[in-house]
Amino acid sequence: MSIYDNARQQFADWGVDTEAAIEQLKTIPISMHCWQGDDVVGFEKKSGSSGGGIQATGNHPGRARTPDELRADLQFAYSQIPGVHRLNLHAMYLDTDETPDRDQIEYRHFASWVDWANEQNIGLDFNPTFFAHEKADDNLTLAHPDQGIRDFWIEHGKRTRDIAAQFGAAQGNACINNIWVPDGMKDHPIDRMAPRKRLENSLDAMLSEQLDSRHLLDAVESKLFGIGVEAYTVGSHEFYLGFATRKGTLLCLDMGHFHPTENIADKLSSVALSVGEILLHVSRPMRWDSDHVILLDDSILAMAQELVACDLLGRTHIGLDFFDATISRTAAWVIGTRNMQKALLRALLLPLDQLRTAEISLDFTTRFMMTEEIKDLPFNAVWAEYCERMDAKCGKALLRELDSFQSKVSVRG
């Protein structure tokens, strides 16, 4: 009996069908974020740091400096990740010799990404870039007191919606355009209300045009604090939960954007009662919103378990948001994305019916015994089988691939 057949039998003893889990895992796309490949720098022809409190640390060799380098790195990463893929692009990643300001970007500046994505069978998601720009230096954009600055950013946002909708139309699926603004204050504001009203009005203006939801889905992302906006963020969780509920947008939950002890997985079932669809930025905060590469740890396993147990996979879009430049950037993508997939597979392999039965009968002893006993089931054998069927490497063979690709890109200046 093969290792997989043996594992299949062990799961079957618990009433779990490993084949069904594998088939379902194949259909769950993960939107990989382009910005892990270049430390959130982008391809605008100007210098400067990412700003907005976003901080990539490290100087590992091999940062992608051009769209072609980034695409080559992505292509390698995708080749090591079994399953269906999406790419999450930011507006600062345009591919053109022109130098449009943020309020001048057009679809043609991104057309090469669509050609490449279609060739590679990769769905595209998008984001307006409200940071790393002189008009964002006050850490105020859509909520800025100056109407001219607000209008600039509203125009940027409108253009990204148009571009995202055209991505969606060109690809025949919905592109998510996710709005995150850095707006906030370092010290205690006197007026917490006025900036929030301005943000709401700006968002309304930005989202006013009705676009086809088969091609575009708008999402809004909250944040608790950032460097330089410790005392107050305009777009807090409550702000956007209310906004998304009232306006019908998606709500983006970034795992680094809450108090460090909050359980983000616990929020899914509550949020899902108020909003139609959810976007996740799966990330790993360490003491603060540090955007560490995600591990296969309890927080990720809990997230995946909630998605499966609450039947939310059909209306949750899984995106990643981490960036680490102290290690191989391509390895970070591959290991982090595979960790998300491993977590989903583990969740799909849980004997949920039996666990639910124990719980609903208030038999917490059985529930407890089961959750602990099933931790010893051979999840790794099912993952290895999945990788083999999808032609992706595992273990030492994977490490060799990652290492050899990294040594090729290490020669970049």
The residues binding ligand RNT (CB under 6 A) are 35, 40, 54, 90, 127, 180, 221, 223, 254, 281, 289, 321
Catalytic pick among 289, 324, 385, 401: 289
| Contact in structure between 22 and 400 (CB atoms under 8 Å) | no
Q: CB count, 10 Å around CB of 126? A: 25
257 carries an active-site annotation = yes
Cα 364 from chain centroid (whole Å)? 34
254 carries an active-site annotation = yes
Catalytic pick among 183, 221, 277, 324: 221
Which among ligand RNT, Zn ion, none contacts residue 223 (Cβ within 5 to 8 A by kind)?
ligand RNT
CB of 338 to ligand RNT, least distance (A): 21
User: Do β-strands 232-233 and 184-185 pair in parallel, antiparallel, or remain unpaired?
Assistant: antiparallel
291 carries an active-site annotation = yes
Q: Which is nearer to ligand RNT, 292 or 393 (CB)?
A: 292
Catalytic pick among 90, 109, 135, 223: 223
Q: Which is nearer to ligand RNT, 123 or 285 (CB)?
A: 285
| Contact in structure between 34 and 89 (CB atoms under 8 Å) | yes
Which among ligand RNT, Zn ion, none contacts residue 127 (Cβ within 5 to 8 A by kind)?
ligand RNT
Q: Which is nearer to ligand RNT, 63 or 223 (CB)?
A: 223
Tokens of 254: 């970034």
CB of 174 to ligand RNT, least distance (A): 19
Q: Which is nearer to ligand RNT, 24 or 55 (CB)?
A: 55
Catalytic pick among 125, 291, 324, 401: 291
Q: Which is nearer to ligand RNT, 116 or 131 (CB)?
A: 131
CB of 252 to ligand RNT, least distance (A): 7
Q: CA 265 → CA 244, 259, 300, 357, distances in Å?
A: 19, 13, 8, 22
Which among Zn ion, ligand RNT, none contacts residue 54 (Cβ within 5 to 8 A by kind)?
ligand RNT
218 carries an active-site annotation = no
321 carries an active-site annotation = yes
Per-residue b/e over 18-40, b at no fewer than 16 CB within 10 Å?
A: beebbeebeebbbbbbbbbbbbb
Nearest Cα residue to 196 out of 245, 145, 257, 158: 145
Residues within the interface to Zn ion (CB under 5 A) = 254, 281, 321
Which among Zn ion, ligand RNT, none contacts residue 74 (Cβ within 5 to 8 A by kind)?
none
CB of 175 to Zn ion, least distance (A): 17
Q: Which is nearer to ligand RNT, 51 or 62 (CB)?
A: 51
Tokens of 46: 């100007």
17 carries an active-site annotation = no
Residue 319 to residue 252: CA distance in whole angstroms: 9
CB of 90 to ligand RNT, least distance (A): 6
333 carries an active-site annotation = no
* Burial of 10 (C-beta count, 10 Å sphere; 0-12/13-18/19+): middle
Q: Which residue is nearest to ligand RNT (CB)?
A: 180
Active site residues: 180, 221, 223, 254, 257, 281, 289, 291, 321
